[in-house]
């Protein structure tokens, strides 16, 4: 289910009006009597006058995508951030040609690197494995990220996208997170690693691995609007996760699962460390 911004405007305005009217009704019941159980406040369905002015923004938001990135790193927060009324969300790549993710999902960019606005309110970089290493070695991609990231009001990433931010010199002196398998690499870039699904340090906001991007995106909605707005977005998305297994973090996963998955990342972590150091020396220190 996907709502247009106009539909969300009506829904959000109604939610705000209901919330405020309900509080007023409880605090000052008509005639001194408590409202009857189940009584609904008399609120016009499309009364836009109840919408707080700050709920309408004009943010320029860009997701940097590249071949073999992890689609869910982008799609989760993209779903949340496109719920920001007034915001413009761009999918930016080297060309406008379709970009294939690491699972084969094909995404069509809306802008090229050159077409992307120079001054962004928010830039977000999704992660990946081999695709992320290739992006760190791509001069054009890294120059773009360093340039836009140096001026953006919010510099953000999901999963191993933080390695790209770090390689561009955008995390030095900041607390940050990444996928659990690569979090220990962040000191290469002068960052302090933190175990968390969403780590917020001034205007650097980083998300943990893959599904953490949904929490990350929702947290940004709350930061850019307010809690009531974010909770409305959450309810529209019916985001109420109850996973069938409890193995979603190294701390929770059974020992055998952790050993198995750890082994899958050994080579990648070594390569990411080598590529990250080279990229940081080239882009991060200049």
Which residues carry out catalysis?
159
**Residue written as tokens 């307010």?**
226
Q: Is 107 helix (H, G, I), strand (E, B) or coil?
A: strand
The DSSP H or E segment spanning 142 is helix 139-151
On whether the CB atoms of residues 130 and 271 are closer than 8 A, the answer is no
Distance CA 279, CA 26 (A): 59
On whether the CB atoms of residues 44 and 16 are closer than 8 A, the answer is no
Distance CA 17, CA 42 (A): 10
In angstroms, the Cα distances linking 98 to 12, 106, 112, 140, 156 are: 34, 6, 11, 18, 23
Distance CA 220, CA 84 (A): 10
Packed helices 227-236 and 212-224: angle between N→C axes, nearest 10 degrees: 140
Distance CA 196, CA 207 (A): 8
- Reading phi first (left if > 0) and then psi (alpha if -120 to 50, else beta), residue 85 is in beta
């Amino acid at each position: 289910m996907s709502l247009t911004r106009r539909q969300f405007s009506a829904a959000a305005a109604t939610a705000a009006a209901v919330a405020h009217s309900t509080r007023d009704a409880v605090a000052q019941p008509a005639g001194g009597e408590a409202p009857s159980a189940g009584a609904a406040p008399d609120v016009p369905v499309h009364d836009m006058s109840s919408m707080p002015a700050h709920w309408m923004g004009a943010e320029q938001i860009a997701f940097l995508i590249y071949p073999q990135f992890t689609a869910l790193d982008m799609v989760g927060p993209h779903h949340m951030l496109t719920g920001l009324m007034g915001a413009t969300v761009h999918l930016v790549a080297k060309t406008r040609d379709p970009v294939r993710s690491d699972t084969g999902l094909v995404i069509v960019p809306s802008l090229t690197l050159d077409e992307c606005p120079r001054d962004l309110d928010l830039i977000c970089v999704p992660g990946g494995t081999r695709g992320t290493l290739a992006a760190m070695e791509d001069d054009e991609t890294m120059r773009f990220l360093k340039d836009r990231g140096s001026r953006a009001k919010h510099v953000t990433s999901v999963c191993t996208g933080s390695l790209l931010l770090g390689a561009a010199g955008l995390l030095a002196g900041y607390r940050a997170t990444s996928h659990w398998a690569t979090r220990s690499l962040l000191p290469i870039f002068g960052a302090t690693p933190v175990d968390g699904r969403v780590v917020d340090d001034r205007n650097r906001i980083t998300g943990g691995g893959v599904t953490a991007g949904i929490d990350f995106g929702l947290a940004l909605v709350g930061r850019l609007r307010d809690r009531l707005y974010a909770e409305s977005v959450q309810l529209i998305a019916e985001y109420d996760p109850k996973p069938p297994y409890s193995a979603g973090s190294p701390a929770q996963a059974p020992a055998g699962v952790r050993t198995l998955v750890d082994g899958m990342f050994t080579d990648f972590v070594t390569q990411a460390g080598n590529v990250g150091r080279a990229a940081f020396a080239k882009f991060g220190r200049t």
